[in-house]
């Protein structure tokens, strides 16, 4: 038998739900939530009550948020009543001037969820348009990482020995020094700047050691895959293998060229007269 118990901590979030009361049970916590106007009579078995539950924010989800507060290093925004933050490096694709005028409290801003901390009920967001682009390949976990994927990443370490970039959900990858740039550079600090968004190719992915190696040099427009895809022309019939699925698209690896492409699920299902579940 299910028990419906309300408390003040259940107000975190904004999704309103309606639940049937199967067994009435008043505790100190639930009474503090309803002591204004509700009594035991309001929780009779078989009646309905309204409450709130936390909004299930998901990593890589693009959502509209409301600006709450701007500090020197962090922008705090509200998502369905929850207070989340956008770090200074993620306000925009470039450094913004006059932030107080651009990011006023009460204004709306589109963000993509980079990471969710379930324990603290906080989410880290980005407002960079280059990362909000829905046509991007997204790596939200080690299982999503496939060799050959070209994705946009964030530089989190620019040391000479072990540069690192970060994907969504705090997934990280090591960038070998020889793969950090297309040109000869005196130091990595010239090519890699903390917080900058760069395009990287996944070179290898080891699920046992949970280690991802990526290269910025191999993600350039001069890579071998660019030449390989030139052999694919509009109207040609080609074969491929589905190597991954995302929310609205499938990742297909072409057999002849080994190039990863995106296939819209709406276009695929629409041709068969079905709908995306």
Task: Render each residue's pLDDT in the chain as its tens digit; 277 residues.
Answer: 333 333 333 333 333 333 333 333 434 333 334 333 444 444 343 334 443 444 567 788 888 888 888 877 777 877 765 555 555 455 555 565 666 777 788 888 888 888 887 777 777 788 888 788 766 677 878 888 888 888 888 888 887 777 888 888 888 898 888 888 766 677 777 777 887 888 888 888 888 888 999 888 767 654 555 545 555 667 777 788 887 777 777 888 776 666 777 777 877 776 555 555 5
Establish whether domains 62-132 and 142-220 are of one fold: yes
Find how far residue 262's CA is from the centre of its chain: 18
Which tokens sit at 181?
């740039």
Q: Please state which architecture CATH assigns to domain 62-132.
A: Beta Barrel (2.40)
The pLDDT of residue 212:
92
Q: With 0-12 CB in 10 A as exposed, 13-18 as middle and 19+ as buried, what is 170?
A: middle
pLDDT at position 267: 74
Q: Are 25 and 3 in contact (CB under 8 A)?
A: yes
Q: Which helix (H) or strand (E) holds 223?
A: none
User: Looking at the domain covering 142-220, what would its CATH class be?
Assistant: mainly beta
Q: Rounded to an integer, what distance in angstroms lies between the CA atom of residue 239 and that of residue 241?
A: 7
Q: Can you give the pLDDT at residue 47? A: 39
Is the sign of the CA dihedral 191, 192, 196, 202 positive or negative? positive
3-state SS assignment for residue 98: coil
Helices (H), 49-194: 99-102, 129-132, 188-191
How do the domains of the chain map onto residue ranges?
8-53, 62-132, 142-220, 225-271
Strands 150-157 and 197-206: antiparallel
Run of H or E including 137 = none
The predicted model scores a pTM of 0.54
User: CB of 149 within 8 A of CB of 160?
Assistant: no
Length of the chain: 277
Q: Residues 201, 258: contact at Cβ < 8 Å?
A: no
Q: What are residue 131's phi and psi, to 5 degrees?
A: -100, -15
Distance CA 124, CA 128 (A): 13
Query: What is the dihedral sign for C-alpha 157, 172, 146, 199?
Result: negative
Question: Residue 176 corresponds to which tokens in the numbers above?
Answer: 């070998």
């Amino acid at each position: 038998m299910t028990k419906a118990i309300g408390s003040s901590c259940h107000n975190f979030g904004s999704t309103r739900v309606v639940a049937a009361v199967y067994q009435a049970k008043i505790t100190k916590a639930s009474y503090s939530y309803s002591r204004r106007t509700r009594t035991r009579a309001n929780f009779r078995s078989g009646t309905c009550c309204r409450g709130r539950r936390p909004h299930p924010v998901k990593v890589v989800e693009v959502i509209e948020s409301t600006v709450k507060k701007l500090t020197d290093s962090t922008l705090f925004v509200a998502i369905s009543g929850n207070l989340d933050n956008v770090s200074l490096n993620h306000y925009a694709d470039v450094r913004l001037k006059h932030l107080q005028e651009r990011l006023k409290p009460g204004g709306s801003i589109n963000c993509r969820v980079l990471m969710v901390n379930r324990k603290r009920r906080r989410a880290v967001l980005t407002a960079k348009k280059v990362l909000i682009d829905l046509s991007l390949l997204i790596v939200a976990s080690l299982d999503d990482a496939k060799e050959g994927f070209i994705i946009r990443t964030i530089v989190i370490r620019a040391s000479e020995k072990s540069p690192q970039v970060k994907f969504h959900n705090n997934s990280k990858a090591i960038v070998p020094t020889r793969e950090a740039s297309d040109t000869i550079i005196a130091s990595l600090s010239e090519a890699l700047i903390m917080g900058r968004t760069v395009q990287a190719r996944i070179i290898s992915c080891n699920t046992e050691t949970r280690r991802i190696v990526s290269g910025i040099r191999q993600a350039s427009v001069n890579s071998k895959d660019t030449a390989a895809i030139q052999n694919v022309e509009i109207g040609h019939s080609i074969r491929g293998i589905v190597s991954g699925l995302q929310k609205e698209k499938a990742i297909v690896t072409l057999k002849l060229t080994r190039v990863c492409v995106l296939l819209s699920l709406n276009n695929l299902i629409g041709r068969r007269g079905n709908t995306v579940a």
